[in-house]
Structure 1
Amino acid sequence: MRATISLYNAARTPLIRFVGKRSVPKSVDHTPRVHPASPAGALPDSFAAYRAKAQQHGPLGRAQFSSGIGSQPGSALGPIRPQSGEFFDRAELPARFGRLPWSAAEIEAVETGGASMLA
């Protein structure tokens, strides 16, 4: 006897029972709205207008891609500098935010999986 075939053919009954009939709301508003935490407080006019202002690793304008991707060096895409108070790397932060050096006891605990702390 093949148990898998008999289990496959058995009727499956769900473990959750829902009360009442399924109903879809008749009036659902799908119009785009501004997110409550949006800094601008307004929707963009169009995706093209948003893309013209957006910047990710350099400007996203179409003019840079006119001659093909990779035809220009990255430095030609425009300057990328953090604003004041922003940092791109943890190493650029002041020394008080740097990583603390590991002690010999901590290194030993990591290497032994914590067994050295109990001995």
Structure 2
Amino acid sequence: MNATKVLLQQRQPMIRFLGKRTVPSKIDHTPQAHPASPTHSLPESFASYRQKAQQHGPLNQTNQYSTGGWIGRKSGSSLGPVEAGKGTAFDRSDLPQRFQRLAWTQAEIEAIESGGASLF
């Protein structure tokens, strides 16, 4: 289609830029504290930052779930039984009958497989 090619050749951008494109001669790339920082200062080093930083708890403590912690040193059976606490359940089949999944009826299966056309 050559009509599209003709239309695109006459297009003018609606944005008009003033002046020539220039790149700043000097850009300051030195690290600076964020303007919203509570201390308005940079940490001395990454190691000192890690000592004070927190993400879901302190980062400087030894994690008990890592290879250096106590979980990997013992067998699973020695850690004790795994049971759901009072008022909690691991699976929906553990719940009372009124909260368990209902069985699909044949009419519902037909409605889903036909995309709802079998209802009309």
Q: Bin the TM-score by the shorter chain.
A: 0.3 to 0.5
With the length of structure 1 as denominator, give the TM-score of the two structures. Answer: 0.44
With the length of structure 2 as denominator, give the TM-score of the two structures. Answer: 0.44
Structure number with larger C-alpha Rg: 2
